[in-house]
Amino acid sequence: MSNQIKWAVVAFILTFLGACATSGGSPSVGPRNVEGGGGILADARVSSASAYAPVSLTINISQFDPGIPSDPNQYEEKGVWPELRRTESVRFSLGVTRALEEASYFDRVKMSPDMSSSASFYVSGEILESNGEDVRIKVKVLDASGKTVLLKRFSHRVPEYALSDPRQRGADLYDPLFEKVARDIVSSVKRTNVRRMESLKSIEELSFAAAFAPDYFDRYLNVNSRGRTKLLGAPANDDPMLLRVRSVRLKDQEFLDKLQENYTNFVRTTNQPYDVWQRSAFREAKAAREAEAARNARVLMGALAIGLAAGMASNADSYGDAFGAGAVATVGAAALKSGIERGKDAKSHIGSLNELGRSLNTQLAPTVMTLEDEVVEFTGSAAEQYAQWQDYLRRVYVITKTPDVTL
C-alpha cells in the first residue's frame, strides 16, 4: 500500500472517530468551537509512562447581569440607574472574586466578561435590588460539564453600625454579602467527589483545546443537545498537540490576568463616588422603609379604630356610649391622617434616593478599558476585548502550524 493511501486511511479513521465522539451540540459553558479554528490531525497517543494529568481547579466569575429594565420609563419607578447598575455589575463580580480568593479553596480564581473562558466552575449572577441598605442578587454556579451546582438568591441588609465601624472604613458595605456567596459556592463545590472533580478538570482543558483544534480534540468529548459535556478519554500528557495548546492557554491566562488589572482599576476609580452614594442611599432607603412601615401601622390602626367606633355607635344605648364611639372615631381619623403624612415622608425619601442614583449615573459615565498584549490593542467592553483576543489567538495558532509528530 502506498504512503499516500496509508495517510488517506489514517486521516479518514481519525476524522470518523472525531465525528462519532460528539453529537453536534454546543457546550453551555467554556470555549466554543469556531469554524476554521484550524485543527491539524495528529497521533492520539496515550502512553502509560506519560499518563494525562489534568489542570488545577479553577473558577471564573462572569460579570453580573445589572438587572436594568428594558423599558426606560421604569428606571425611576424601580430606582434603577443604568450606569450605576453597570458599575455595580463589575463591583459585585469582583467582590465575589475577592471573597473566593480569600477562601483559598480554588487554585485559580478569575473574573471574566462571560462564561466563554475555560474553567472547572463558572459563576454568573444578577442584581435584583440595591438601594444602599438592602441588596438582593441571584447566583448560579455551573461546572465545566454544564451541570448546575448552585442556584440561589442571596440578600443582605446593611446594619447601621457598619457606617461608623472603623474596621469598615474603606470597605464596601456589601462585603458581607459577597463573603456569604463565596462560602456557599465553596460548600457546594466541595460536595463534588474526587473522581468527578478530576473529570471536570480534564473537560476544562480539553474544551479549550477543542476550540483550537476540534478535529483532533473533539474525540475526547461528547456534547449532547442540552449543551452538557461528557469526558470520553484523554491524550497522553506529552502529546505534542496538547503541549502546543497548553502554551497557547498560558497566553490566554496572561490576558485574563491583565483584564483583572483593568477591572480592579475601574473599581478603584469608582470607590469614592460609589461610597458616597452607598452611604447617602443607605440613610434615604432606611428612612423610606421606616416611614413606609410607620405609615402602614398608623393606617391599619386608624382603620381598626374607625371600624371599632362604627360598631360601638351602632350598639350605643346611652349618651356615654355614643360619646365613647365618637372619641374612638376621632383617634382613628387622626391615625389615618398621620399615616398619610408618613406616606408623604416615605415618598420624599424615595425621591431623594432616586436623585442620588441619577447623580451617580452622571458621575460614572461609561469607561473604555483598553488592553494591549505586545503590539496588539483590544478595545471596547471587556466581553468585546476577550472575543477579539480569542480570535487573535486562533489566528496565531493556525499561522504557527503544527509541530512535527510521528505516526
Number of domains in the chain: 1
One-letter amino acid at 253 equals Q
Spatial separation of the C-alpha atoms in residues 40 and 241, rounded to whole Å: 9
Q: Calculate the alpha carbon distances from 124 to 96, 152, 153, 252, 257 in Å.
A: 10, 11, 12, 20, 19
Give 293-298 contacts, CB < 8 A, sequence gap 24+: 294/339, 294/342, 295/339, 295/340, 295/342, 295/343, 295/345, 295/346, 296/339, 297/339, 298/335, 298/336, 298/338, 298/339, 298/342
Residue 274 lies in a domain: no
Residue 306 lies in a domain: no
Q: What is the pLDDT of residues 161-215, one digit of tens each?
A: 877 776 666 678 999 999 999 999 999 999 999 999 999 999 999 999 999 999 9
Q: What is the mean pLDDT of residues 126-135?
A: 92
Residue 211 lies in a domain: yes
- Residues spanned by the domain of 229: 3-42+54-234
Residue 272 lies in a domain: no
Mean pLDDT of all residues in the chain?
74
DSSP secondary structure string for all residues of 122-172 = EEEEEEEEESSSEEEEEEEEEETTS-EEEEEEEEEE--GGGGT-GGGTTS-
- Range name among 17-26, 137-146, 180-189 with the lowest pLDDT average: 17-26
Residue 47 lies in a domain: no
**Terminal Cα distance for the chain, rounded:** 16
Contact status, residue 131 vs residue 355, Cβ threshold 8 Å: no
Residue 283 lies in a domain: no
Spatial separation of the C-alpha atoms in residues 230 and 202, rounded to whole Å: 10
Match 466581553 to its residue by C-alpha cell: 383
Residue 10 lies in a domain: yes
Q: What is the mean pLDDT of residues 289-295?
A: 57
Q: What is the pLDDT of residues 231-244, one digit of tens each?
A: 999 999 999 999 99
pLDDT at 179: 97
Residue 76 lies in a domain: yes
